[in-house]
Amino acid sequence: MAIIDYVLLILLITCLYTDLTRRKIYNLALLPVLVIALVYHSASGGLPQGWWSLKGLALGTALLIIPFSMGGIGAGDVKLLGVVGACKGPEYVFMAFLAGAIAGGIISVAQLIRHKSLMSTLKKLLLNLYYRIAGLPRIKDAHTVAGAGGKDTIPYGAAIAIGAAAAYFAR
């Protein structure tokens, strides 16, 4: 394991903890790791490796910018995936993104089951799909887990951490 792997592991554990307990991913945790990743890769592999790290940062950020702009996830989640990309590169962050999306889906379904709202949410989603096809306005809040409010949302940082771990062990 390279030093950057340990740095990323510490970051993921820290962000997992803060996202689960406070529903926040702090810039104070992300920024130093971003700087470490860019400096580490530039120093160990020169300009090409530094560019590779920047491409990972850009891809990780780009992958979650649409869900963020639609209000589905927080800015901390976007920045966390970007930093994962800066640490491990574009191919890795794409694999982490895909695995994280699967983990996020599983976490969401578990949350819906826990709140006993799986069926009502599925009905709203299917009705919205039908309304969209028919050109009618959509039902509000059909995309939220068990309604509005911070306590009913999922900590997507957990899904990102699971995805990053899965990508690490899959390689």
Average pLDDT on 145-166 reads: 78
> Judging by beta carbons within 10 Å of its beta carbon (0-12, 13-18, 19+), is residue 84 exposed, middle or buried?
buried
Separation CA 97–CA 105 (nearest Å): 12
- Residue 7 pLDDT > 60, yes or no? yes
CB 7 within 8 A of CB 31: no
Q: Where are the domains of the chain?
A: 3-170
Model pLDDT for residues 54-100, shown as the tens digit of each residue: 999 999 999 999 999 988 899 999 999 999 999 999 999 999 999 99
Model pLDDT for residues 20-43, shown as the tens digit of each residue: 999 999 999 999 999 999 999 999
**pLDDT (0 to 100) of residue 154:** 87
pLDDT tier at 113 (50, 70, 90 boundaries)? very high
Question: How far, CA to CA in Å, does 168 sit from each of 62, 95, 126, 142?
Answer: 21, 9, 36, 34
- Residue 148 pLDDT > 50, yes or no? no
pTM of the model: 0.85
pLDDT tier at 128 (50, 70, 90 boundaries)? confident
- Structure tokens that stand for 22 in this block: 């406070």
**pLDDT (0 to 100) of residue 137:** 74
Separation CA 80–CA 59 (nearest Å): 12
- Residue 141 pLDDT > 60, yes or no? no
CB 157 within 8 A of CB 16: yes
CB 92 within 8 A of CB 85: yes
**pLDDT (0 to 100) of residue 152:** 64
- Residue 145 pLDDT > 50, yes or no? no
**pLDDT (0 to 100) of residue 149:** 44
- Residue 48 pLDDT > 90, yes or no? yes
Separation CA 60–CA 82 (nearest Å): 4
- Residue 142 pLDDT > 50, yes or no? no
Catalogue the long-range contacts made by 165-169 (C-beta closer than 8 Å, 24 or more residues apart): 165/12, 166/95, 166/96, 166/99, 166/100, 166/103, 167/88, 167/92, 167/93, 167/95, 167/96, 167/99, 168/5, 168/88, 168/92
pLDDT tier at 132 (50, 70, 90 boundaries)? confident
